[in-house]
Each structure stands twice: as structure tokens, then as C-alpha cells.
């Protein structure tokens, strides 16, 4: 026997005589032999995909049961989604619901639960592999489908239940306060987690392994899961509270031909301009905008129910409060940004087209927004839509006091929009602390030679600019000389100069 074999044998005999050392070694060996890393990755893959339908069900149920209590619904959703660091807010902002109730909801839930059985199937295969359950003893179709559905309901329902109760008892939802509530949340959540894992392990091993052999694993899994929940909550509260969105990480201002609608089309284009600018520079604006949009949708749904005499008009009061709360945040941000934008646009426009005065004016809701919403309620019920709020805002654009939509030429409209975009770049750069990237697509067409020349003087002033054009003639040689020029011909990108 070689010295290496003797050494390995001595170490092996030693670890067998010492239980506290033998156990982790045995677990590690079992983990390696069963390729448990691959099995865990498979379960994780399906589980991540399965979480979103389950959250969709939660959101739908809360919308139905708490339609008259939006603040309570928001708190409960927050308590559940706080378990997801960084992406929790994004999930909430984009979480939809299933329309209708009763039979429609039940049918939707059945489809969603059926779609999540991939995670259950992966867990069942993994547990059978770990416990050496022969394939001929594993259930076939349709019994396997039944086990998958039961396992999905156990894990998914248990997960939602534990996060729900944890939030109510003192979690991120802040429905209760005090040390006792937090301790109670941990105890209740832990007990439920033990039960959930214990039952799910029994189902995943297709009832071939006795409960008593699964209890230690269930407790260990519950402890690990509880620690992960607490650690995640700590990270959210202390480290990632400002990471709800990544807007503003990379500042960009884009001009493309459709932006001419700013000066020639309806107010939705000008609201989009303000929104796209503010999500980059105003902390919390993206979240407030998303929540305001959802409140308007929910209020409109309730207005149609009131119109059909399926709900009482008094139920609108809570939605009016929510509407006013988020609307105030949007209006304040838009009003301030419009002032900055107007000043920069006026200066940029004069430098491109001397002799013409460009003015921007924010047209927001009435100052007493709550009163305006209350006065418009009967009209809202009649129409079935919300008629007062920042979703009806506009940004008036005038040249020499005249509306650009009716009185400006194509060249004047393009000049006005370009000036607004240059002002937007200044505002973004000033608020963010560094100039954004300017992306200008076909910006020089329909401009006369003088306006082109004046515009090109502004390009490259402290910012990176990407300009596209179907021809190079409009660009002076001094601009060409200090730029990197790429030409696309016959599907190939060629560098010139």
C-alpha cells in the first residue's frame, strides 16, 4: 500500500470514529454522488418561473377582497414582495391581475397552478434520486400529475401564507409595530415553514419515506429558509432601500422622427417626454408613476361598476385619496422639470433660430386637486373614466405666442423639438452630475442651411453625440474632422477618415 493510500485510510478511519466530523463528510459525499448541485439548479430554474404566476394569483385575490381598502392591499403586497431583494419593486410595479372574479378567477388559477408543476416535477425527481426510490416504484401518469399539483399547492400556498402572515404579524408591511410583533412573526413563520417543508418532502418522495425520517430535514430547511428571509429583509432595509430601480444609471437623450409629435400631435407625447426625463433624474418618480397608473386603472374599473350599479359611489373615496397622493408627487416633479426645460429650450432655440421665441408652459391639474377630483366624481361615473389628474396634463409649446401644432411650419416644428431635446440633455446632465449621451436620428432634414449650421455648433459640447443621416453633405468639414464617421453600405459598416 502506498503512503498516500495509508494516509487516506487513516483519515477515513478517524472521521468514522468521530461522529461530528463523519456527518458533514458523509453529507458532502452524498451530495457529490447524487449530483445534487445539478438537481438544485433544476429546481431553482423552474421555481423562479413559478413564483410569478403565484404572485399574480395573490395580487388578483387582494384586488378582489380588498378593493375598498387600497392601502391595506398595498401593504400586504409589499410584505410579500419585500422577500425579493432589488427585483421586488420591479415585480410589484409590473404585476398584473386576472380580470373578473368567481369562475373566471378559478379557471385562471387552475391554469396558472398547472403551469407551475414543472418545479414540482423537478423537486419530485430530485427527492426520489436522493432517497434512492427506484423508478418502477415512482407513480406514472396520471398519478404523477396529481403529486405535482399537490406539491405545487403545498409549496406555493405555504410560501404565500408564510410571507402573508409574516407581513401582518410585523414584517415589511408595517401593519404592526413593536418587538413582540417581530418575534411573533419569526415564530409563526418558522412553524409554518416546518410544516410546509415536512409535507412537501413527504409528497416529493411519493409517500415512500416515513414522516419521522423527514422531520430533521424539514427543520433544517425551515431554519435555512427563515435565515434567508431575515437576511433578505435586513439587506432591503439597510443596503438596497435605494435600489428600487436602475433609472438614471446611464443617461440618454434620444431624438428620432417620431419626436416631431411633440410639436404637432396630442398631449400624450409631451407627457411621455416629461416622464422619460424624470425617471432618469427624479428619485422615486418611476415608482410613483407606476402606482398612479395602477390607481387610475383600478378607479376606472370601480367607476364602471358604480355606473352599472354593482358598487356604491362611497367606495370611490379611498381611491380618490390614493389618486391625490400619487398625483401630487407627479405634479410637483413635472412642474419643476418644466420650468428648467423651458429656460433651456428658449436659449437653445434662439441660438439655432434667432428672432423666434420658444415658450413652454406646464398645464397641470387644478391646485386644489382633492376638491377637483371630488367635484368631477359624478361626471367620472357617467363617463366611466377618471377625468382629473396628471394623466390629463399637457406641456404647451408656442412660437411667438402661437401653438406650434397649428401655426408652425415643418422646419419650425423640428427646430422647436430639437431645442427641447437639447434642453432636456442640459437638465439631465445638471441633475445627474454628468452629461447624457445624445442620440440624434435624421435630425438635420427639413432644416435650412443656417439652422443646420447653428445646430451643429451645439453638438459635442461636453457630451457624447451620435448623429445619423442619409447623407454627409449637411455636415461641415470641421465637424467631420473631429468626429468618428461610420458609413453603412450594402450591409457593411465602414469607417471613414
**One domain, residues 230 and 265:** no
Q: What's the structural domain count of the chain?
A: 3
Is 115 within the bounds of a domain? Answer: yes
The pLDDT of residue 176: 45
Mean pLDDT computed over 403-417: 91
Residue, of 100 and 225, whose pLDDT is higher:
225
- CA-based nearest residue to 213, from 198, 224, 200: 198
Which of 212, 238, 264 is the endpoint of a domain?
A: 238
Which of 214, 238, 262 is the endpoint of a domain?
A: 238
How far apart CA 278 and CA 286 sit, in angstroms, is 8
Instruction: Select the highest-mean-pLDDT range: 137-141, 143-147, 285-289, 443-447.
Output: 285-289
* Residue 14's pLDDT band (cuts 50, 70, 90): confident
Eight-class DSSP state of 486: E
CA–centroid distance for 265 within its chain: 29
Output Rg (C-alpha) for the chain, integer angstroms. Answer: 31
Q: What is the mean pLDDT of the chain?
A: 78
Q: Name beta bridge partners: 489.
A: 492
**One domain, residues 334 and 284:** yes
**One domain, residues 15 and 63:** no
Is 353 within the bounds of a domain? Answer: yes
How far apart CA 230 and CA 164 sit, in angstroms, is 15
**One domain, residues 163 and 277:** no
Structure confidence by residue, pLDDT tens digits, 376-405: 999 999 999 999 999 999 999 999 899 999
The pLDDT of residue 411: 86
The pLDDT of residue 100: 46
Q: Name beta bridge partners: 399.
A: 358, 402
**One domain, residues 6 and 66:** no
Q: Does the N-terminal peptide bond of residue 142 adopt cis geometry, omega within 30 degrees of 0?
A: yes
Is 192 within the bounds of a domain? Answer: yes
Which of 238, 260, 289 is the endpoint of a domain?
A: 238
Give the 3-state secondary structure of residue 465. Answer: strand
When mean pLDDT is compared across 159-168, 308-317, 471-480, the lowest value belongs to 159-168
Residue, of 474 and 362, whose pLDDT is higher:
362
The pLDDT of residue 410: 87
Structure confidence by residue, pLDDT tens digits, 279-300: 888 888 988 998 899 899 889 9
Structure confidence by residue, pLDDT tens digits, 255-283: 888 889 999 999 999 999 999 899 888 88
**One domain, residues 177 and 134:** yes
Structure confidence by residue, pLDDT tens digits, 93-123: 554 544 445 555 565 566 666 556 777 788 8
Say if residue 270 is exposed, middle or buried (CB neighbours under 10 Å; 0-12, 13-18, 19+). Answer: buried
**One domain, residues 333 and 314:** yes
The pLDDT of residue 252: 82
Q: Which domain holds residue 300?
A: 252-496
Is 490 within the bounds of a domain? Answer: yes
Residue, of 362 and 50, whose pLDDT is higher:
362
**Quick check: 292 and 446 in contact, CB under 8 A?**
no
CB atoms within 10 A of CB 388: 23
The pLDDT of residue 178: 56
Could you tell me what percentage of the chain is helix, strand and coil, using 3-state DSSP and rounding each to the nearest 5? Answer: 70, 5, 25
**One domain, residues 345 and 487:** yes
Is 245 within the bounds of a domain? Answer: no
**One domain, residues 151 and 263:** no
The pLDDT of residue 175: 46
Looking at the predicted structure, is the pLDDT value of residue 85 above 80? no
Structure confidence by residue, pLDDT tens digits, 300-324: 989 999 999 988 888 899 899 999 9
**One domain, residues 153 and 274:** no
Residue, of 179 and 314, whose pLDDT is higher:
314
The pLDDT of residue 91: 52
Q: How many residues are given for the chain?
A: 497
**One domain, residues 258 and 192:** no
The pLDDT of residue 433: 81
**One domain, residues 25 and 66:** no
The pLDDT of residue 226: 78
Is 247 within the bounds of a domain? Answer: no
Amino acid at each position: 500500500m502506498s503512503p498516500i493510500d495509508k494516509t487516506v485510510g487513516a483519515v477515513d478511519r478517524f472521521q468514522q470514529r468521530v461522529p461530528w466530523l463523519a456527518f458533514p463528510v458523509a453529507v458532502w459525499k452524498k451530495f457529490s454522488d447524487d449530483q445534487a448541485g445539478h438537481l438544485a439548479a433544476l429546481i431553482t430554474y423552474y421555481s423562479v418561473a413559478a413564483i410569478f404566476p403565484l404572485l399574480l394569483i395573490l395580487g388578483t385575490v387582494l384586488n378582489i377582497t380588498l378593493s375598498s381598502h387600497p392601502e391595506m392591499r398595498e401593504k400586504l403586497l409589499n410584505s410579500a414582495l419585500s422577500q425579493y431583494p432589488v427585483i421586488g419593486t420591479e415585480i410589484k410595479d409590473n404585476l398584473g391581475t386576472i380580470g373578473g372574479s368567481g369562475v373566471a378567477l378559478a379557471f385562471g388559477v387552475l391554469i396558472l397552478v398547472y403551469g407551475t408543476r414543472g418545479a414540482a416535477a423537478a423537486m419530485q425527481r430530485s427527492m426520489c434520486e436522493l432517497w434512492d426510490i427506484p423508478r418502477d416504484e415512482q407513480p406514472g401518469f396520471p398519478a404523477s400529475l396529481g403529486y405535482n399539483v399537490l406539491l405545487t399547492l403545498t409549496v406555493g400556498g405555504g410560501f404565500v401564507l408564510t410571507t402573508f402572515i409574516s407581513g401582518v404579524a410585523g414584517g415589511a408591511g408595517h401593519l404592526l409595530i413593536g418587538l413582540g410583533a417581530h418575534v411573533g412573526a419569526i415564530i409563526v413563520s418558522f412553524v409554518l415553514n416546518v410544516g410546509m417543508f415536512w409535507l412537501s418532502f413527504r409528497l416529493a418522495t411519493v409517500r415512500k419515506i416515513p414522516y419521522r425520517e423527514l422531520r430533521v430535514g424539514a427543520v433544517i430547511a425551515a431554519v435555512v429558509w427563515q435565515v434567508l428571509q431575515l437576511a433578505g429583509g435586513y439587506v432591503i432595509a439597510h443596503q438596497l432601500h435605494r435600489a428600487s430601480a436602475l433609472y438614471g444609471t446611464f443617461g440618454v437623450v434620444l431624438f428620432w422622427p417620431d419626436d416631431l409629435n411633440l410639436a404637432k400631435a396630442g398631449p400624450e407625447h409631451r407627457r411621455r417626454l416629461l416622464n422619460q426625463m424624470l425617471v432618469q433624474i427624479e428619485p422615486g418618480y418611476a415608482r410613483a408613476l407606476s402606482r398612479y397608473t395602477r390607481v387610475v386603472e383600478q378607479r376606472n374599473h370601480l367607476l364602471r361598476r358604480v355606473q352599472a350599479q354593482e358598487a356604491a359611489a362611497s367606495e370611490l373615496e379611498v381611491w380618490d385619496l390614493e389618486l391625490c397622493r400619487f398625483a401630487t408627487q407627479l405634479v410637483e416633479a413635472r412642474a419643476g422639470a418644466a420650468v428648467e426645460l423651458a429656460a433651456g429650450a428658449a436659449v437653445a432655440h434662439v441660438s439655432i433660430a434667432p428672432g423666434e421665441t420658444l415658450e413652454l408652459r406646464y398645464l397641470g391639474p387644478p391646485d386644489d386637486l382633492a376638491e377637483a377630483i371630488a367635484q368631477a366624481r359624478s361626471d367620472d361615473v357617467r363617463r366611466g373614466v377618471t377625468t382629473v389628474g396628471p394623466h390629463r396634463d399637457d406641456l404647451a409649446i408656442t412660437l411667438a405666442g402661437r401653438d406650434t401644432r397649428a401655426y408652425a411650419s415643418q422646419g419650425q416644428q423640428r427646430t422647436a423639438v430639437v431645442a427641447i431635446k437639447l434642453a432636456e440633455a442640459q437638465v439631465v446632465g445638471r441633475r445627474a452630475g454628468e452629461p447624457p449621451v445624445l442620440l440624434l436620428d435624421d435630425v438635420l432634414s427639413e432644416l435650412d442651411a443656417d439652422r443646420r449650421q447653428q445646430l451643429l455648433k451645439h453638438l459635442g459640447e461636453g457630451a457624447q453625440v451620435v448623429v445619423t443621416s442619409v447623407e454627409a453633405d449637411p455636415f461641415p468639414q470641421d465637424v467631420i474632422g473631429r468626429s468618428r464617421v461610420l458609413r453603412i453600405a450594402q450591409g457593411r459598416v465602414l469607417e471613414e477618415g
